[in-house]
Structure 1
Amino acid sequence: MKKFEEKTTKTTPVYDGRIVKLQIDDVTLPNGQVAKREIIKHPGAVAVIAVTAEGKLVLVEQYRKALERSIIEIPAGKLEPGEEPVVTARRELEEETGYGAHSLTFLQAFATSPGFADEVIYLFVAKGLYKIENKADLDEDEFVELLEVSLEEAQTMVVDQRIYDAKTAFAVLWLAANLENNLLA
């Protein structure tokens, strides 16, 4: 849908980093006026809702420099060039948690910050979790602690803002709505 479309007339690259790129777009608005838009280009990411056979939600705690604090999140990571989201989901689940899954089911995709970034997260539900004996290593600049919590504990973490990011808060809401429907079996 392109209702209220803004037509780009010029793109000026500003920064080309390891993860993101920043550009400034000159646009023509629907009313004919012109404006500038600062846009972050991101390769996209995946996130995984994983629940153990005991009904515990698998989470990781890690420091997020942009927030200057640690937060608790569902396993997630960025897409590598040319990589299918399900492959990234399987890799990130293994690297961050030491779990594999018999199946990964795509749930939905969503924009994280559409006002200034094009990042889309592909959300998966992991079913049939099992521990991996020789799990893949974390990225060299990644430090995480594994947590396995009940739905009630996760809901409390949202309220007290230990869970502070949208993808994980969404995962907790989705789990609360669907756990009793046995969608994780």
Structure 2
Amino acid sequence: MSYIKTLTLTFLLTLAFFAHAQPSELAPELAVFKPYLGTWQADFKVADNKPKIQDVGIWERALNGQAIHTKHSINKGEYGGESMIFWDREQQSLVFYYFTTAGFYTKGTMKVLSPTQFVAYETVTGSKEGITKVKSISDYKDGEFIVSTSYLKKGEWTKPEKRIYTRSDKQVIFK
């Protein structure tokens, strides 16, 4: 019996060591994203006769805190994407790439507006819908974050779409 107790104690001490040995800090340039870490969902506003749309996303610390990895899926995998956000020392800017299940991708930059708010500017490559640029503003407030997004589609900016994300225990699903 003491052998099992010793193994259990050794296992618990090893877990404690690794928990402290792997810091959960972010690079200072990524501090704005700290409240965004975790899993979120937004239920889009749609007309009564339209099917419901739900976006589930997760924001994670990546690459020893030198990047943020996000992934999301809409309606359990009908559409989704993944991104990596990082500080580009050469550009002295937050930079990100976003890859989608629809076959297009974006490259963008972000500007921090406040300790909980940022704006993202994206250039779109390969959109079948004629979207060439995206601008979004995200603001973390009172335990949720609000995203307002406009698209440059066929030469015209769309009216901003607003989505409110709340904490979730749902999973990001890709088909």
TM-score (norm 2): 0.26
Answer with 1 or 2: which has the greater Rg.
2
Q: Relative to total residues, which structure has the larger strand share, 1 or 2?
A: 2
TM-score (norm 1): 0.25
Q: Taking CA–CA contacts closer than 8 Å with sequence separation of 6 or more, which of the two structures ends up with the larger relative contact order?
A: 1
